[in-house]
Structure 1
Amino acid sequence: MVVIDYFLSLGSSVFVPLVLILIGLVLRQGVLSSIRSGITVGIGFIGLGLAISLISNTLEPAVNQIVERFSFNLTVIDIGSGAAAGVAFSTLIGALIIPAVFILNLVLLVIGFTKTMNIDIFNYSHYAFTGAVVHLMTGSVVIGVGASLIQATWSLLSADYSAKKVQETLGVDGISIPQGYAASTVPLFSILDKVYDRIPFLRNSKLDLSHLQGRIGMFGDPVIIGAALGIILALLAGYNFVDGANLLMGVVAIMVLFPRMVKIIVEGLLPISEAAKSFFNKRFNGKEVFIGLDSAITLGLPTTQIVGTMLIPITLILAVILPGNKVLPLGDLAFVAFFTCMATIIHNGNILKTIISGVINMIGVLYIASWFAPYFSKLAANSGATDIKGQTTALWNGNVFDFILANIARFGIVGLIVLIVITIPIGLYVKKVTSTPKSAE
């Protein structure tokens, strides 16, 4: 725990650059170039952290005001991803999961079952949560760790599957996104994308930002869109002019600053990407290896920001009208963009497809988070991480991989065997699909 706490205390702005510097040296990038790349990425992550804190400072008060103003009567409180991750890492499984997943990743990379090396250690908390719930259900540490490792494997396979689209959209080769939540949405959004291709209205839709700007000029500019979204949120919150104007400026700042920060990260990653291609071409016959990063690097995409902001009031409405939902979105509501970021990638920035997929996904998130509430509340109580009375959860818990794994692994060793049997053909399928030459696609 002391070693794990030390690594976690470094933060992504220190730990990720250190890992990237090491990777750069291994790839023969050169000492100074490796240091520059790693530190540049670290600067980008510091910038992202400031932009994310802007979301917290700007949007959370408005969200709380909207919830209070409309007196939503829901019994399970969403305490947010930060607290949820803390609960997950404070468990016995959480103490074991970082070295276990890291070793597994290396083994899978060596045997060729994945192309992704996941250095996004801070988001291993998703795997810890699944394992902790399974441990709670079965009483077995082995089954709990096993479920966590299978989820980590699924996330790696999902990252491999979506890697080319991620690289094309962000303009950086050699990266992927195995982040615990984002990876779990790739299957859903990929299936929906194929469904949309069968619906003429959606198949022919060209509603991305460039199309929007071409049709309505300055009204399609991110600054103007951000201002409009800020006004809508201010009206819903019942803000006066001063508070509303501050909210509007905060939303516009988010729309403008995120892309700038992501550009800094991309600047640092490009030399490492080139070094990786050269290294593997020379020594491994062009074998691909992807650096697995946090989904935060996608938040600079305008479609993600627009749809993410629109989904704030939509998610509140869904929470009220969905029969059987118990969750009051609160702690994670300002960060809904994280829940839909991979839809932007899969749907090639199409705003219409992304918002439809986002709504469908948030319905699933609310129901799954409701289902996990009793288990999460018990874990939170055991950890002493929260003193909130009654049941708690987080939208962060609304992870379909968590849900599937927990419901199968609860059957003990039989469930674990079933999950392993399921995972092998999935891995072979992903390997086949991602090995297809572009000319044959």
Structure 2
Amino acid sequence: MNGDDPQHRARMRRVPPPGQPPTQRPGPHRAGPPGDPQSPYIEPTQVLHRRGPQQPLAYSQVPPENPPPRRRPPLDKPRSAPTHAPTQQPVPYREDPPPRRPYRGSPPPPPPPSRPRGERQARAPRPRRKRHYFRWFLVLLLVLIVAVIGAVVKLDGSLTRIPALAGYADRVGDTPGTNWLLVGSDGRAGLTPEQEQELATGGEVGPERTDTIMLVHIPKSGKTTLVSLPRDSYVSIPGNGKDKLNASFAIGGPQLLVQTVEIATGVHIDHYAQIGFSGFAGVVDSLGGIDVCLPTAIDDPLAGINLPAGCQKLSGPEALGFVRSRATALADLDRINNQRIFMAALVKKATSAATLANPFKLWPMATDTVKSLKVDDGDHIWNLAQLGWAMRGDTVPTTVPIGGFEDTDSGNVLLWDKNKAGQFFDALASDRPIPDDLLTR
């Protein structure tokens, strides 16, 4: 077939031969040209044809003459039906591993290897329970509270009680504040000969006497006042005339001493505490000694001490001789000053944090104290704790205003200044600070 034949070329180009109008094929979906709605309009299509073996492709904007019909797949048969079913393989069931806590500073460990088929899967570890620290803290706190209550009850039961504040006719009425009468006696009960030699007590000397008498006034507000009452003070003893203050203790014991002090001072005594030689030394030793600073050296063979001047630590026997010695220039007045120095050092160490926080120091000190004390029938261990707490800070140490000395039938006695002593004790009885001009440091 010749390629130059016009009919052949027309068939290839799908156009009518020369001189023949193009075939019009109306369709419901084709719209006529504008202006002639009756005439069907054939939308031109692009037809690909070749002009020769070496010529490029060309396009003609003419509709195809006989377009091939479209083939649609039958509705009852899928386009591509599979020839066989897909192969199915069983997949073992696996639980998701428990969430892991994030690691800080190092990468997380690799996941555990998968278990072989047929092997029993290990159970996931249970999450660690939170430790109930607060619950254990409450249990420990409860145990401590019970232990403290038990210790307080035991210590209170170990106190030796005496009727020191027994009522008497026309007793001084209650005065504001809290007043303690502290007494240091020379009682030697329970001491062995070796202990009497160690403490330099001098053996048995008759009725029990007192070398230390202190009046402690705790106000409702302000500093605690520590008043030393010299044992040689010449005062009136009910039923026995005038004599030395310590004679009232030797004659009628604590009851007569309290009555004598109340009448001489006009201050109502609320609590009473008494300690002997052995108990005094035991309390000092349980604290590991007491640190004091001596302005001058003291050499007293009768008290069993030879102490140099300066700061030093005193043991129990040395402390006892320090508060009893009168081998100084002012004799009894220096002893009163030494007693105040010792009392301040004792209270400071007994109430320090190192002692209160250490049960191995606190318990021996408390047990030795209560065993060596004699208190009134109405006093308890918590009253003693209040006394120690009131004396732990700054106190006002002083003594009775002194008017001079005099020789009497009772020996050399100490006289109070009547005017100053009256103002002095009136301030204590009314719970007022003592004027500075009446204080004797």
More helix by share: 1
Give the TM-score, by structure 2 length.
0.21
Q: Which structure has the higher relative contact order (CA within 8 Å, separation 6+)? A: 1
More strand by share: 2
